[in-house]
Structure 1
Amino acid sequence: MTSLARFSGDADSGAAVLFDVDGVLVDSYAAYRRIWDRWALHHSLDPAIVWAHTHGRRPIDTIAVVAPHLDAEAQYRLVRDFMADEGDAFPVYPDARSVLKVIRNQRWGVVTSGRAPTVRQRLRAGGLPDPPVLVDSTQVALGKPDPEGYLRAAALLRTSPQHCLVIEDAPAGIEAARAARMTVIALTTTHPAAQLTAAHHITRTLGEATPLIENWLDATVP
């Protein structure tokens, strides 16, 4: 894992937009619910309890919490096997392409609890570009709600955390971004607004968030 220390002196005032992936750029809710329900039932666990611990978290962290008696690495491989059975059931949201066009001249990246090869595959399948910066679950010691992933993305983009706007859909991701001292727009794609009140702004969709993103960029970019 690369230390962030070597980037600490390079940050400038340039703005950056950081996206979560699942629930923000990729509509994975239904597929992941099937996957985690299947895994829970495979181990005679309560699917509702398991599902409640998945949002915004790395799968291996979810497994460690809901089934500490199991080998988390081995169970993550099983989850990935179940994921493969879902095939192409991970479409990008209709508004994702237009939003990325809006910010194409700005710094941007993604911070995900998934893995980079899978994320790139799904984005490319939906006609989206590869993110200039992609921080995945393998690049951090602690997943969301820890701010490490978002802080790493800011460092890799050579900008300061306070000049980053985060688009999230889950409480754990909002908590991570707020802990990193970033501005957060929450989408109600996977959670009701009442669970997302820690965000600075709440909208229903990525498309509805576009004016907020543009206004934030206008106010932040020198």
Structure 2
Amino acid sequence: MTGGPATGGPAGEVRLPCAAVLFDVDGTLIDSTPLVEHAARLWAPEYGIDADEFLAGAHGRRTSDRVADFLPPGRVAAATARLDELEAAGTDGITALPGVLGLLANMNGLPWALVTSMDRAQLAARAAAARVPLPDVVITAEDVRDGKPDPDGYLQAAGRLGAAPSACVVVEDAPAGVAAGRAAGATVLAVATSHPPEALGEAHHILGDLTSLVPAPDALTLALA
């Protein structure tokens, strides 16, 4: 099975032939913004970091990669563990984003995987809180040498599903993830759930959320505004 160029359908619809869909998680399927921001605002003063500056570029990236932007290498591991500890302290405010639960419950035979910058424990806790199912193929922070915008996670997921990356649709919400999907050679669909559309301009298509996606065994159909 191979992907192909977008094809037209009824007015306002685009059909994206694909062999598999590779979803980002935080900000794409799950909203954990209140938890992440609360933890960062507790953590940042402990390390002399401005929380707003840290959060401004944190979304869509591995925690360790973002921490390394602010601290010397010898301090990154301990500081990352501390932030992970604070984020793991609860799941208050974590919810599935609009359209997600219905979409994942009705993928209609289209293979899919998750590629997240979270670690396995974070993913398990947040997915459970949001009632988001986990597929057989899940790529987490521990599975990649370099996090997004490096394409490694998406390349691994496509490989495990037996699909060519160019035949996959990547669904993302953050510029780093969009860049990773493009670097993998996939068609990138961005949702403007955490960033404004102008920040996602490298994506092939941009939607407000996932409510308008309709899966078929070999394609995704999306309604464009």
- The answer to whether TM tops 0.5 is yes
Name the structure with the higher helix share: 1
- Between the aligned partners of 2:38 and 2:107, the Cα distance in structure 1 is 33
| TM-score, length-scaled by structure 2 | 0.84
What are the residue-to-residue correspondences of 1:176-215 with 2, within 5 Å? Answer: 176-208=180-212, 210-211=213-214
Q: Distance in 2 between matches of 1:18 and 1:151?
A: 10
Q: CA RMSD in A?
A: 2.1
Match of 2:120 in 1: 116
Aligned mates of 1:84, 1:67 — CA distance in 2: 22
Compute the displacement of 1:25 (Å). Answer: 0.9
Q: Who is 2:90 aligned against?
A: 86
Deviations 1:21-62 (A, max 9, x none): 000111012221222222222222122221122121100001
* 1:45 counterpart = 2:49: yes
Task: Report matched runs for 1:151-166 at 5 Å.
Answer: 151-166=155-170
Query: Could you tell me how far 1:95 is from its partner in structure 2?
Result: 1.5
Deviations 1:74-121 (A, max 9, x none): 111110121123333322224211111331411100000001232133
1:134 to 132, 138, 148: 138
Indicate the SS of the match to 2:38.
helix
Distance change (3 Å), C-alpha of 1:216 and 1:168: farther
Contact 2:91-2:125 at 8 Å conserved across structures: no
Letter in 2 for 1:37: R
Q: Cα 1:75–1:104, aligned 2, differ >3 Å: closer, same or farther?
A: farther
The residue identity in structure 2 corresponding to 1:89 is: G
Per the TM alignment, residue 126 of structure 1 is displaced from its structure 2 partner at its CA by: 2.9
**Is 1:124–1:130's contact at 8 Å kept on the other side of the alignment?**
no
How do residues 24-39 of structure 1 correspond to structure 2 at under 5 angstroms? 24-39=28-43
Evaluate the alpha carbon distance shift between residue 41 and residue 52 of structure 1 in structure 2; reply closer, same or farther with a 3 A threshold: same
Query: Do the aligned partners of residues 184 and 118 (structure 1) sit closer, same or farther apart at CA in structure 2, a change above 3 Å counting?
Result: same
| Residue in 2 that maps onto 1:144 | 148
1:60 corresponds in structure 2 to 64
- Does the residue aligned with 2:170 lie in a helix, a strand or coil? strand
Q: TM-score scaled by structure 1? A: 0.85
- In 2, the alpha carbon distance for the partners of 1:214 and 1:190 equals 27
| Residue 211 of structure 2 is aligned to residue 171 of structure 1 | no
Task: Tell me the SS of whatever aligns to 2:142.
Answer: helix
Shift of 1:69: 6.0
Match of 1:7 in 2: none
Partner deviation per Cα, 1:168-201 (whole Å, 9 max, x = no partner) = 0000000000000101111111101110000011
Structure 1 residues 135, 69: closer, same or farther in 2, change over 3 A?
closer
Unaligned runs of 5+ in 1: 1-11
Q: Could you tell me which residue of structure 2 aligns to residue 9 of structure 1?
A: none
Count matched residues: 206
**C-alpha separation between the residues in 2 aligned to 1:97 and 1:131?**
13
Higher strand share: 2
Among all aligned residue pairs of Structure 1 and Structure 2, give the percentage whose two residues are the same amino acid: 36
Structure 1 segments (4+ residues) deviating >3 Å: 213-216
